């Protein structure tokens, strides 16, 4: 895929004073795919990106740990995920990660067989509750359907809520879980999925360091204001995260219709934070590419950090924390977040592990003004917001991105599909 494969040559950017067919706001996966689709159809496009790089939430940090560390997406869930083929076409080393082993801990010891059985029973009971409520299409908080009294109930809820959907069960609609596309098989990429995305999108002309501050769609066409001037187009595709939309960083004039405003408000960002913990090569009996889970006391997701150990045999493990606790840690700062993750890791690895710790790093999406969270989750009762926000506004404004990707919401594949779909919708209404 990519422009080279489609045979379309990217158009030279229009000068800032002339009108283009479409302005695309944001150069994450959705924006890049929208631009590719429009350019392939011979349209003029201006992509405006606030950051100094493309990729958005697909970003691999190669510097901090001296090895590829994906700060955002890293799993390619291959239910028709275009990035599986894109990775293969690039010759990237990929690893099938479905069915990875899992070490389960209770405090500082490995769970015994009875505890493991209780853990699997909790998974079964909670999944059956989702099946029943999902088939009944109940758009209600997942906390309303959880069976009580499960010994490992909070541990399973932590996986499904904060870790997978970036929100706790009380903020997770049953339908966001139930309607989500099948995640298996899943793969990880040695160079990092962010690296794959940056290679794939490299041919798209993008104006970096250009923050959009306003979108005027009242008159003929659309005028987009940036911190370095205004631009005019026939249509505009907006791919910024709902965190940015909800912050009011982009002023719409006239105000967006109630339907769109309501949908944005009902698609707030959840939080998943990744914490890279680098060690000196010691493994502490944990094998590469394995999950490391600990018992979470209580009935609801609490203070937890689960891990992926030594991906691709790198010398770091990735801690994951999210939901309300993730936001709380983000407010406390990177040092406190690393300290919490390291404390959890050492509890399971043994106190000796602290001596072998080299450095930590935090993904930091909560405090990134261009994102303001990890990905969107519909407020319970408002699952239809994903579709409502995807509806074009007066054939001029088109919202794209993971938040409007239906069953692929929150995924890199969803961002790709929604960027392509909204570009096709714009092509359908462009005249001349």
Residues at the contact surface with ligand FAD, assessed by CB under 6 A: 25-31, 48-51, 56-58, 72-75, 77, 211-212, 239-241, 244, 249-250, 272, 274, 363, 365, 370-371, 374-375, 401-402, 410-413, 415
Half-sphere exposure of 383 (CA within 13 A, CB side): 20
CA-closest candidate to residue 375, choices 301, 246, 272, 304: 272
Q: How far is the CB of 376 from ligand FAD (least distance, A)?
A: 9
Closer residue to ligand FAD (CB): 345 or 375: 375
* Nearer residue to ligand FAD within complex by CB, 272 or 426: 272
Q: Which two tokens stand for residue 85?
A: 């083929």
**343: buried, middle or exposed (CB in 10 Å: 19+, 13-18, 0-12)?**
exposed
Comparing CA positions, the residue from 374, 318, 278, 325 lying closest to residue 70 is: 318
Question: Least distance to ligand FAD from the beta carbon of 290, Å?
Answer: 17
Pair of tokens at residue 161: 């809520």
Nearer to ligand FAD, 152 or 307 (CB): 307
CB of 239 to ligand FAD, least distance (A): 5
Q: How far is CA 46 from CA 36, 118, 210, in A?
A: 11, 55, 11
Q: Which residue, 141 or 322, is less far from ligand FAD as judged by CB? A: 322
Q: Is the dihedral of CA 127, 133, 137, 138 positive or negative?
A: negative
- The two tokens of residue 114 are 């009875």
Among residues 138 and 385, whose Cβ is nearest to ligand FAD? 385
CA distance 260 to 82: 28
Nearer to ligand FAD, 145 or 158 (CB): 158
Q: How far is the CB of 237 from ligand FAD (least distance, A)?
A: 11
Question: For helices 193-200 and 29-40, what crossing angle results, to 10°?
Answer: 20
For residue 184, the minimal CB distance to ligand FAD (Å) is 13
DSSP-derived 3-state class of residue 279:
strand
Q: Name 204's Cβ contacts closer than 8 Å, sequence gap at least 6.
A: 3, 10, 27, 32, 35, 36, 39, 47, 54
Of 25 and 304, CB closest to ligand FAD: 25
Cβ 267 to ligand FAD shortest distance, Å:
12
Cβ neighbours, 10 Å, residue 4? 11
Residue matched to tokens 């890279």: 276
Measured from the CB of residue 11, what is the shortest distance to ligand FAD in angstroms? 20
Shortest approach of ligand FAD to residue 47 CB, angstroms?
Answer: 9
Place of tokens 């940056």: 198
CB atoms within 10 A of CB 257: 15
Of 9 and 251, nearer to ligand FAD (C-beta) is 251
Cβ of residue 183: shortest distance to ligand FAD, in angstroms? 9
- Is the CB of 25 or the CB of 111 nearer to ligand FAD? 25
Question: For the chain, what percentages of helix, strand and coil (3-state, to nearest 5) are there?
Answer: 35, 20, 40
């Amino acid at each position: 895929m990519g422009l080279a494969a489609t045979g379309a040559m990217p158009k030279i950017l229009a000068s800032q004073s002339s009108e283009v067919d479409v302005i695309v706001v944001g150069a994450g996966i959705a924006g890049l795919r929208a631009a590719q689709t429009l350019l392939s159809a011979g349209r003029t496009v201006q992509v405006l990106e606030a950051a100094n790089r493309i990729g958005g939430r697909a970003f691999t940090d190669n510097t901090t740990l001296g090895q590829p560390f994906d700060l955002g997406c890293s799993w390619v869930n291959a239910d028709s995920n275009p990035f599986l083929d894109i990775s293969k076409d690039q010759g990237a080393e990929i690893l099938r990660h479905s069915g990875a082993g899992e070490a389960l801990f209770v405090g500082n010891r490995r769970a015994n067989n009875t505890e493991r059985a209780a853990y699997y029973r909790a998974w079964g009971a909670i999944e059956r509750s989702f099946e029943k409520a999902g088939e009944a299409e109940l758009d209600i908080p997942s906390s309303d359907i959880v069976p009580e009294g499960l010994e490992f109930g909070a541990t399973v809820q932590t996986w499904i809520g904060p870790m997978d959907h970036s929100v706790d069960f009380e903020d997770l609609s049953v339908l966001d879980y139930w309607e989500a596309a099948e995640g298996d098989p899943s793969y990880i990429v040695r160079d990092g999925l962010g690296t794959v995305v940056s290679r794939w999108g490299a041919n798209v002309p993008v104006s970096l360091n250009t923050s959009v501050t306003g979108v005027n769609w009242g008159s003929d066409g659309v005028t987009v204001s940036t911190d370095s001037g205004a631009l005019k187009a026939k249509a505009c595709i907006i791919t910024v995260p709902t965190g940015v939309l909800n912050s009011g960083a982009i002023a719409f004039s006239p105000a967006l219709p109630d339907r769109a405003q309501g949908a944005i408000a009902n698609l707030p960002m959840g939080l998943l934070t990744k914490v890279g913990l680098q060690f000196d090569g010691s493994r502490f009996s944990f094998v590469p590419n394995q999950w490391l889970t600990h018992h979470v006391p209580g009935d609801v997701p609490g203070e937890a950090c689960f891990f992926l150990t030594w991906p691709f045999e790198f010398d770091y493990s990735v801690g994951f924390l999210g939901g309300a606790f993730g936001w709380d840690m983000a407010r406390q700062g990177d040092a406190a977040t690393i300290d919490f993750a390291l404390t959890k890791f050492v509890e399971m690895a043994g106190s000796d592990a602290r001596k072998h710790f080299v450095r930590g790093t935090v993904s930091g999406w909560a405090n990134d003004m261009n994102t303001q969270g990890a990905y969107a989750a519909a407020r319970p009762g408002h699952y239809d917001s994903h579709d409502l926000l995807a509806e074009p506004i007066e054939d001029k404004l088109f919202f794209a991105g993971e938040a409007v990707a239906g069953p692929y919401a929150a995924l890199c594949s969803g961002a790709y599909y929604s960027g392509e779909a909204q570009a096709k919708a714009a092509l359908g209404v462009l005249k001349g």
